[in-house]
């Protein structure tokens, strides 16, 4: 059975952390879960909530309707009252409707949420030992006091707990953590950043583990400095990344073009939020698809990978490093708030078979050419420090990297650079660019975070299949053209102008029959998609 | 040792004072390398864009031709991951004090281990003569970037002039071997768009070496019109011990390999 718990309260009351702990307890018992976080751009007060949807079966999205609402205050409950199912329950320390308030032991410095969590854990059948293990792992030295409160809440549940079958334990990650882990596993040496929601999480995660992983993580004075420092570190022979969200990425655009021209491997993490401009900072969107495909002046090859869930966020990060190092070009991991900051249980360990080769000459020989003209367009990079000079330049150049404006040399270097794209397309072949789900004659076409809602909606719709676009550049036009043959399709997108549909039309000259668009900053849920389809049918 | 000259055609205007800087920078690299104070194979020159940036083509060392105003962050990125490299930035006043001022202040504050050499002709030359932040024109008062850098925490701040080659050589060498953020401002005219050669020659006052605090006061209070010399030479504050630590680590690593 798929169940949903909404945790609601003010910013600063620990809503997010409590929901994640609950998710971790469920995952420790072998449940699948998905946690959506909804918060405003403020530090204290306001209204925050997190939605935890869980089941014995795979869960890829959250639901709007709740079986249980955990309300830290009455106002929080009122905000979600309409979402409570007919037989739903409320867990709160305050009297709300017919529900008995949970007794919260008063202890200085503790809010009520750990007691409520205890009560809830008992209610859904999480064994006390599983709950306390999660708390011990999360809180370390502070855990004992918290477990005490948790226990009081747990014991105060007098009713019949749900029967829980315990399965294989799972881990819980958010997308940003998965990207950070992917980067470290790929051999990351350095990351430079300037904080911007929702990209920041990758870099705070890297900061928190930099010592044991021997990586350099630096916050710079602005995004321009972050991107250029990353380019400098790449030139110096290191595996590097930077990243931001819309506005910050806009500031990096000249550096993106610099990395393209200088042919330096740089991974850019681009986490979309709702724009334009400052937009709706803590809410999701897929409004930057065209922007990332075109960011930076001039023509140069780039790659844009777009993960649809946590596992893919990890795997595509590994791929991003591989391709950027091999082809010496900027590669984007295009994420969004819903991927970046939602948590999900992950069954397998996050690992990948993608090569960790850095494709670098460790020493630059006497006649080393930084931009050697080759058949496949790839000039092998070298670590500066040998007898030969390593050059990197934003100016058009000859094979040694010396400046040139000679028309023949300008043309041949341009062609060499662009040839990398042909070589890359040949390596990519006809697999991996898309994923196909189901066999129906009508298809949802999406890329990125709508994946969870689309796949969970498929179960409730007859005759529908889905195609996921995993890569926006180079666009998998042959794979997509083959897969879509004979099918009518709707694109499912978190934007208002069907940007993905436009990209498909441009790449494949195939037109969608319509689009399901959501542009209120909120992610798709399965019900949202099913409702749209049913409404159209009526 | 590698020949620091390249065979690239020099396209600076005839008589441009950049030729003096080019010669002195090359000589500084050769001298320091001969003295064993730097490893020329482990030296990186990071250039801006514009006239001065063409120096990228004229010196045979590892080099990056970066973006306008972004020499400092590129150099800082190199310096952060490769403490074994000697990193030298070269740009004009437009790139350093206009477009890239944010980076100058913050890298001085962080005491990034690099040397920033600025050919300060107080004009945007390649775009045909617009004023920069150090020009007299275009605002009530020109900026004093050296004072700003000193106040932000740069641990070596100096000025020299393109008409005083020996002084320039001495300053550049000191700046390169200094561990921490070094800023060298070179007063020079643009013979085409701001030819104040006579004024520079007439007004430059070389301040005697050692009392850097006194020198900084002269600069701050503008008691001399064009004072040149060393204004900050601080080997104690900033990340010095951390940097020294890094250098030892690098030396150890080098010894191992």
Three-state DSSP state, A78: helix
For the domain made up of A434-537, the CATH class stated in words is alpha beta
Q: Please tell me the distance in Å from B235's CA to the nearest CA on chain A.
A: 24
Integer Cα distance of A467 and A444 in angstroms = 6
Kindly state the average pLDDT of the residues A240-248: 98
Handedness of CA A371, A374, A379, A384 (dihedral sign): negative
The CATH number covering residue B226 comes to 3.40.50.970
Q: Left if phi > 0, otherwise alpha if psi is -120 to 50, otherwise beta: which for A531?
A: alpha
Structurally, how many domains does chain B consist of?
A: 1
Half-sphere exposure of A89 (CA within 13 A, CB side): 15
Tell which A residues from 208 to 247 touch B, by Cβ distance under 8 Å.
216, 218, 220-222, 224-226, 228-238, 240
Size of interface A-B (CB pairs under 8 A): 127
Check residue A106 and give its pLDDT: 59
Check residue A292 and give its pLDDT: 98
Contact status of A386 with chain B (Cβ, < 8 Å): yes
Q: Length of chain A in residues, anyone?
A: 538
Please check whether residue B220 lies inside any domain of the structure. Answer: yes
Burial annotation A116-139 (CB, 10 A radius, 16+ → b, else e): bbbbbbbbbebbeebbbbbbeeeb
pLDDT tens-digit readout, A216-239: 999 999 999 999 999 999 999 999
Q: Which residues pair with A444 in a beta bridge?
A: A466, A490
Q: Do B85 and A262 touch (CB under 8 A)?
A: no
Check residue B236 and give its pLDDT: 53
Would you tell me how many other CB atoms lie within 10 Å of the CB of residue A48?
A: 24
Q: Which residues pair with B185 in a beta bridge?
A: B118, B159
Check residue B257 and give its pLDDT: 36
pLDDT at A300 over 70: yes
Q: Which of A389, A397, A413 to mutate to test the interface with B (most CBs of B within 10 A)?
A: A389
* Residue of higher predicted confidence among A133 and A13: A133
Please check whether residue B12 lies inside any domain of the structure. Answer: no
Integer Cα distance of A243 and A175 in angstroms = 14
Task: Give the range of the structural domain holding residue B43, as residue numbers without chain letter.
Answer: 18-256
Please check whether residue B2 lies inside any domain of the structure. Answer: no
ipTM of the complex: 0.96
Q: Do A393 and B49 touch (CB under 8 A)?
A: no
Nearest to B121 by CA among B18, B218, B205: B18
Which of B64, B65, B80 minimises the CB distance to A190?
B80
Quote the distance between the C-alpha of residue B127 and its chain's center.
22
Q: Do A232 and B75 touch (CB under 8 A)?
A: yes
Residues sharing a CB contact under 8 Å with residue A429, sequence separation 6 or more, in sequence order: none
Which of B54, B73, B84 minimises the CB distance to A232?
B73
Q: Length of chain B in residues, anyone?
A: 257
For A3-169, CATH number out of 3.30.413.10, 3.20.20.150, 3.30.70.1050, 3.40.920.10 equals 3.40.920.10
Contact status of A339 with chain B (Cβ, < 8 Å): no
Q: How confident is the model at residue A247 (pLDDT cuts 50, 70, 90)?
A: very high
DSSP letter at B5? B
Q: Which residues pair with B183 in a beta bridge?
A: B116, B157
* CATH architecture of residue range(s) A173-346: 3-Layer(aba) Sandwich (3.40)
Q: Do B82 and A262 touch (CB under 8 A)?
A: no
Please check whether residue B7 lies inside any domain of the structure. Answer: no
Kindly state the average pLDDT of the residues A100-116: 73
Q: Which of B74, B76, B99, B257 to mutate to test the interface with A (most CBs of A within 10 A)?
A: B74
Kindly state the average pLDDT of the residues A114-133: 95
Please check whether residue B133 lies inside any domain of the structure. Answer: yes
Tell which B residues from 15 to 54 touch A, by Cβ distance under 8 Å.
41-42, 44, 46, 49, 54
Residues sharing a CB contact under 8 Å with residue A124, sequence separation 6 or more, in sequence order: A3, A5, A26, A68, A161, A162, A164
pLDDT tens-digit readout, A468-478: 999 999 999 99
Please check whether residue B125 lies inside any domain of the structure. Answer: yes
Backbone angles phi, psi at B157, to 5 degrees: -130, 125
Integer Cα distance of A195 and A204 in angstroms = 9
Q: Mind giving me the DSSP string for A322-384?
A: HHHHHHTSEEEEEEEHHHHH-EEEESS-S---------EESS--TT--TT---SSSPPPEE-T
Nearest to B43 by CA among B80, B8, B74, B89: B89
Residues in A closer than 8 angstroms to B42, CB to CB, are 384-385
Average pLDDT, whole number, for chain A? Answer: 95
Check residue B243 and give its pLDDT: 46
Longest dimension (CA), chain A: 84
pLDDT < 50 regions, chain B: 237-244, 247-257
pLDDT tens-digit readout, A502-517: 999 999 999 999 999 9
Q: Which residues of chain A form CATH 3.40.50.970?
A: 173-346
- Token digits for A109? 């410095």
Contact status of A12 with chain B (Cβ, < 8 Å): no
Check residue A538 and give its pLDDT: 61
Q: Do A224 and B81 touch (CB under 8 A)?
A: no
Distances (CA, A) of B85 to B67, B78, B117, B170: 21, 8, 17, 21
Which of B2, B74, B85 minimises the CB distance to A229?
B74
pLDDT tens-digit readout, A173-201: 999 999 999 999 999 999 999 999 999 99
Check residue B254 and give its pLDDT: 46
Tell which B residues from 94 to 153 touch A, by Cβ distance under 8 Å.
102-103, 105-106
DSSP letter at A531? H
Provide the pairing of β-strand A488-493 with A442-446: parallel
Check residue B253 and give its pLDDT: 44
Check residue A160 and give its pLDDT: 81
CA-based nearest residue in chain B for residue A392: B64
The structure's pTM equals 0.95
- With residue A119 as reference, give the H or E element that holds it: helix A113-124
Check residue A44 and give its pLDDT: 87
pLDDT at A359 over 60: yes
Residues in A closer than 8 angstroms to B54, CB to CB, are 403
Q: Please tell me the distance in Å from B196's CA to the nearest CA on chain A.
A: 30
Share of chain A above pLDDT 90, in %: 90
């Amino acid at each position: 059975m798929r169940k949903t718990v909404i945790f609601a309260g003010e910013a600063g009351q620990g809503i997010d952390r409590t929901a994640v702990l609950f998710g971790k307890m469920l995952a420790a018992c072998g449940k699948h879960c998905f946690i959506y976080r909804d918060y405003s751009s403020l530090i204290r007060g306001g209204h925050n909530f997190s939605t935890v949807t869980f089941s014995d079966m795979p869960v890829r999205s959250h639901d709007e309707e709740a079986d249980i609402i955990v309300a830290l205050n009455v106002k929080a409950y009122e905000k979600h009252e309409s979402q409570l199912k007919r037989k739903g329950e409320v867990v709160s320390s305050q009297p709300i409707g017919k529900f008995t308030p949970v007794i919260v032991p008063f202890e200085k410095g503790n809010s009520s949420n750990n007691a409520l969590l205890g009560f809830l854990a008992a209610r859904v059948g999480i064994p006390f030992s599983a709950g306390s293990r999660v708390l011990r792992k999360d809180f370390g030295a502070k855990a004992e006091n918290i477990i005490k409160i948790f226990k009081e809440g747990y014991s105060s549940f007098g009713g019949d707990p749900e029967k829980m079958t315990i399965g294989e334990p799972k881990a819980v990650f958010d997308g940003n953590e998965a990207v950070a882990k992917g980067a470290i596993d790929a051999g990351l040496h350095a990351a430079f950043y300037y904080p911007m929601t929702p990209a920041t999480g990758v870099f705070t995660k890297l900061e928190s583990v930099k010592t044991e992983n021997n990586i350099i993580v630096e916050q710079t004075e602005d995004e321009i400095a972050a991107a250029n420092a990353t380019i400098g570190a790449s030139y110096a022979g290191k595996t590097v990344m930077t990243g931001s969200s819309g506005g910050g990425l806009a500031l990096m655009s000249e550096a993106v073009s610099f990395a393209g021209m200088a042919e330096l491997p740089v991974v850019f993490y681009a986490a979309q939020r709702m724009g334009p401009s400052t937009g709706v900072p803590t809410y999701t969107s897929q409004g930057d698809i065209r922007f990332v495909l075109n960011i930076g002046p001039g023509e140069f090859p780039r790659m844009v990978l777009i993960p649809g869930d946590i596992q893919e966020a990890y795997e595509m990060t590994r791929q991003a490093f591989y391709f950027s190092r091999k082809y010496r070009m900027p590669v984007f991991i295009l994420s969004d708030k819903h991927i970046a900051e939602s948590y999900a249980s992950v069954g397998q360990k996050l690992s990948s078979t993608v090569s960790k080769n850095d494709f670098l000459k460790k020493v630059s020989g006497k006649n080393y050419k930084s931009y050697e003209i080759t058949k496949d367009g790839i000039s092998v990079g070298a670590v500066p420090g040998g007898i030969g000079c390593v050059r990197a330049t934003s100016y058009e150049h000859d094979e040694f990297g010396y400046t040139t404006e000679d028309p023949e040399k300008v043309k041949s270097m341009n062609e060499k650079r662009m040839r990398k794209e042909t070589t890359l397309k040949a390596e990519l072949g006809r697999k991996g660019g898309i994923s196909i789900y189901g066999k129906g004659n009508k298809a949802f076409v999406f890329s990125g975070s709508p994946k969870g809602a689309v796949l969970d909606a498929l179960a409730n719709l007859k005759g529908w299949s889905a195609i996921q676009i995993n890569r926006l550049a180079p666009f998998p036009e042959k794979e997509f053209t083959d897969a879509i043959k004979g099918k009518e399709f709707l694109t499912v997108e978190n934007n208002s102008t069907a940007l993905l549909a436009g990209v498909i039309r441009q790449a494949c000259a195939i037109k969608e029959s319509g689009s399901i668009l959501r542009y209120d900053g909120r992610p798709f849920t399965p019900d949202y998609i099913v409702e749209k389809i049913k409404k159209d049918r009526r | 040792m590698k020949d620091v000259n390249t065979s690239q055609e020099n396209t600076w205007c005839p008589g441009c004072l950049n030729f003096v800087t080019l010669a002195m920078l090359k000589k500084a690299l050769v001298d320091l390398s001969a003295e064993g104070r730097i490893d020329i194979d482990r030296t990186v020159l990071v250039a801006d864009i514009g006239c001065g940036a063409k120096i990228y083509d004229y010196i045979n060392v590892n080099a990056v031709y970066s973006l306008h105003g972004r020499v400092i962050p590129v150099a800082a990125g190199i310096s952060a991951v490769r403490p074994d490299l000697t990193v030298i930035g070269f740009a004009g006043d437009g790139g350093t004090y206009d477009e890239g001022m944010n980076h100058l202040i913050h890298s001085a504050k962080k005491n990034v281990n690099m040397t920033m050499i600025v050919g300060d002709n107080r004009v945007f030359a390649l775009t045909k003569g617009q004023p920069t932040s150090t020009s007299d024109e275009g605002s009530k008062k020109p900026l004093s970037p050296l004072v700003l850098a000193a106040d932000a925490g740069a641990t070596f701040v100096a000025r020299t002039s393109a008409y005083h080659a020996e002084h320039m050589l001495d300053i550049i060498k000191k700046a390169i071997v200094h561990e921490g953020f070094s800023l060298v401002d070179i007063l020079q005219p643009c013979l085409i768009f701001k030819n104040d050669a006579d004024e520079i020659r007439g007004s430059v006052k070389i301040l005697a070496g050692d009392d850097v605090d006194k020198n900084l006061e002269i600069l701050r209070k503008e008691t001399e019109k064009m004072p040149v010399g060393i204004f900050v030479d601080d080997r104690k504050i900033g990340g010095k011990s951390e940097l020294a630590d890094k250098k030892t680590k690098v030396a150890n690593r080098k010894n191992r390999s």
